[in-house]
Amino acid sequence: MNILIKPLITERSMKDATSGRYTFIVNKKANKNDIRVAVKKQYKVDVKNVATNIVKGKSVKFTRAGKNIRDLSYKKARVTLKNEQKIDIFEEIGKEEKK
């Protein structure tokens, strides 16, 4: 099971990244402990806290019969790191946006 799907890049998440909080879109079945281990393993940092929430999305119908329905909701995790540690991917994106 792939825990971390992708980093969530928004204005707020970039602002939080300067204070050591990073936001990711994660698998809906992942719990906080799974997310903590995945971030530690992938980015080699120490995780202090993990907060999760499910963002509700609307359902979309794809056929005229209305049988194929896809739910556009996703699970978001905000990860706080210990000891002034940083994740490089957020720093690189922040530099690109300032140019």
Q: What is the mean pLDDT of residues 64-85?
A: 84
Residue 20 lies in a domain: yes
| Total domains present in the chain | 1
- The predicted-structure confidence for 14-67, as pLDDT tens digits, reads as follows 899 888 999 999 999 999 999 999 999 999 999 999 999 999 987 777 766 666
Residue 30's domain spans which residues? Answer: 4-93
CB distance 71 to 55 below 8 Å: no
- Of 40-44, 77-81, 82-86, which range is least confident? 82-86
Q: CA of 64: how far to CAs of 59, 61, 69, in Å?
A: 15, 8, 11
Residue 61 lies in a domain: yes
- The predicted-structure confidence for 1-23, as pLDDT tens digits, reads as follows 799 999 999 999 989 988 899 99
- At position 51, the amino acid (one-letter code) is A
CATH number of the domain encompassing residue 29 = 3.30.70.330
pLDDT of residue 90: 66
